[in-house]
Amino acid sequence: MEGKAWKFGDHIDTDLIIAARYLNTSEPEELAKHIMEDADPDFVSKMQVGDIIVAGENFGCGSSREHAPIALKVAGISAIIAPTFARIFYRNSFNMGLPIFELPEASEIAEGDSVRIDMDSGEIINQTDGKRYKFTPIPAFMQELVDAGGLIAYAQQEISEAKDE
C-alpha cells in the first residue's frame, strides 16, 4: 500500500465519515460519494484512489454503522493510520477488509506526505521525510480471522466442517 496522506484530527466519528442522512441506502457506491463530507466537504473531489487517511486518537467513534468502513474502502482509501481506533470501528474494518494501522507516532506524518505500508516488515515508511515506524501488530486471534479471509469466510469454514462431521 502506498498513497498520499490526508490528515484529520482526534475523535473523528462515524457521522463525519458517512452522515446518517445518506443511510437510506447501503449501496457501497452511493455511500462512497459522501465520505468525510461534514469534516471536509471537498474531500471526495480532492482525494485519489489509493490515498491514506492519517488521523488522531479514537478514529471511528460513535455509531456502529459498518457503512463507514465500507464507504471509505469503496471510495478508494487504501488504509487508515491512527494512534487509536474506536472499538466497533476497529472490529468492523477487519470484518470488511479495510486495512487499518495503529501507530502512536501518526501525528508526525504531514498532509500530502507519501506514505508506504510494508506488511512483511510491519513498517510504515514516510517516503517524504524518510522516517520509518513499526505499527502495532494486530491481536493473534484477529490474525486468524484475517488468514481465513474475514469473519464470514471463517463462518463458512465452520459450516462446511459441521457438514463433514
Partner 1 sequence: MGQTITEKIFSEHAGKTVYAGEIVRVSIDMTIGNDITTPISIKAFEQSRAKELANPDAFAIVMDHYIPAKDIASANQAKISREFAYKHDLKYFFDEKDMGIEHALLPEKGLVIPGDVIIGADSHTCTHGALGAFATGMGSTDISFSIITGGNWFKVPESIRVSLLGKPGKHIYGKDVILELIRILGVDGALYKAIEFVGDGVEYLDMSDRFSMCNMAIEAGAKSGIFAVDATSKAYLDERAQANGGLRSNPKLHYSDSDANYCREITIDMASLSPVIAYPFLPSNGKSVEQAVADDIKIDQVMIGSCTNGRIEDLRIAAEFVKGKRVARHTRMIVTPATQQIFLQAQKEGLMEILIGAGAVVSNPTCGACLGGYMGILGDGERCVATTNRNFVGRMGARTSEIYLANSAIAAASAIAGKIVDPR
| Nearer Cβ to partner 1 (18/115) | 18
Residues contributing to the site for partner 1 (CB under 8 A): 11, 13, 15-16, 19-21, 23-26, 38-39, 41, 57-58, 61-67, 69-70, 84, 86-88, 91-92, 95-96, 139, 141, 150-152, 154-156, 158-160
Q: How far is the CB of 68 from partner 1 (least distance, A)?
A: 9
Query: What is the closest distance, in whole angstroms, from the C-beta atom of residue 145 to partner 1 in the complex?
Result: 9
**Nearest distance from residue 135's CB to partner 1, in Å?**
18
Find out whether 111 and 6 touch, Cβ atoms under 8 Å: yes
Nearer to partner 1, 71 or 117 (CB): 71
Q: CB-wise, 64 or 114, nearer to partner 1?
A: 64
| Side-chain-facing half-sphere of 72: CA atoms under 13 Å | 30
Q: CA-CA distance, 84 to 79, in Å (whole number)?
A: 14
Q: What nine digits make up the cell of 6? A: 490526508
Please answer whether residues 97 and 70 qualify as being in contact, where contact means their C-beta atoms are separated by less than 8 angstroms. Answer: no
Of residues 64, 45, 77, 58, the one with CA closest to residue 10: 58
Q: Which is nearer to partner 1, 2 or 38 (CB)?
A: 38
Angle CA(39)–CA(45)–CA(47) in degrees, nearest 5? 80
